Amino acid sequence: MRSSLEGQRVIILGGTSGIGLAAARMLAEGGAEVVVTGRDPVKLEAALRELGPKARGEAVDSGSLEALRAFYERQGRFDHLVISVSGAKGAGAFRELSLEELRAGFEAKFWPQLASAQLALPTLNPSGSITFVSAISARRVAVGISGLAAINGALEAMVPSLALELAPLRVNAVSPGVVNTSWWNWLPEEQKSAAFKQYAEETTVGRIGEPEDLAKAIAYLVDNTFVTGTVLEVDGGLRLK
C-alpha cells in the first residue's frame, strides 16, 4: 500500500540527534523526502549517513533569524515542519534559579521554535502541518521545574490559537516526558543513570522513553490530516503521579 507520506517534503529543525533524528528516520522510511538541520556539521554529516538517500541536510543556527530566513528561501515549497530544537537551561529550585539561565533557556528553545514556525509560513504548504516539540514539564507539577514549565508552557499555550489562525494548516505539538537523549548529558553518567531509574519508577509504564516513542507520535501528527490544535502527551504516564 502506498504511504500517504510518499512524495511529501518534511523539514525537521534539530533533526541530527535524539527525537528529531528518530523522527527523520521514521518519516523517511515512510516515504517522505526529509531535510534535517543542526548547528554541528559533524553531527549533521553523521545523521545524513544514517538516514540514507531519502534525506538531505544543512547546518543551520536556528537562533539566527537571518540564517533561518535564508534556509527557507533555499528550500522552496515544502509540506511539513517539525521543530525539535531545544536547550538544557532553565531547571532548578525557584529561590536559587538564575534568571539569566532561564532567559538562556528561552533563547535556546522558545524563540527559535517560534521564529522557525513564523518564517516557514511563506513556503509551507497550507494543507500541511507544523509540529512543535515541547516537554511534559509544561503540565507536570514537580519541584525544580517551574522555569522549564514556563518555557514549554508558553509553546503549548500557542498551539490551539495558531491552529485556528493558520487553518487549514494544521498545528500540533508533542509533549515528551523523560527520554533517553543527549539532553541529559549535562549530568555525569552515574547521576544520569540514577535519575533515569527514579523517573522510570515514577511513570505508570515502568520505563523512561526512547526517541522512537516520540518519533511515532510525530509521524502520527504529520500524517493524520484530521488532527490539529492538539498537544499530544507522550510521557509514559509521568504526569499522572
pLDDT at 182: 81
Q: What is the pTM of this model?
A: 0.94
Residue 22 CA to residue 25 CA, distance in Å, equals 5
Confidence of residue 109 (pLDDT cuts 50, 70, 90): very high
pLDDT of residue 189 exceeding 90, the answer is no
Order of strands, sheet of 78-83, starting from the edge strand that comes earlier in the sequence? 55-59, 33-38, 9-13, 78-83, 124-133, 170-176, 231-234
Per-residue model confidence as pLDDT tens digits over 17-71: 999 999 999 999 999 999 999 999 999 999 999 999 989 999 999 999 999 999 9
Q: Which residues pair with 202 in a beta bridge?
A: none
Strands 78-83 and 231-234: unpaired
pLDDT at 2: 46
Ramachandran assignment for 146, one of left (phi > 0), alpha (psi -120 to 50 degrees), beta (any other): alpha
Number of alpha carbons in the 13 Å side-chain half-sphere of residue 49: 6
Secondary structure (DSSP) of 175-212? EE-SBSSGGGGGS-HHHHHHHHHHHHHHSSSSS-B-HH
Per-residue model confidence as pLDDT tens digits over 147-160: 999 999 999 999 99
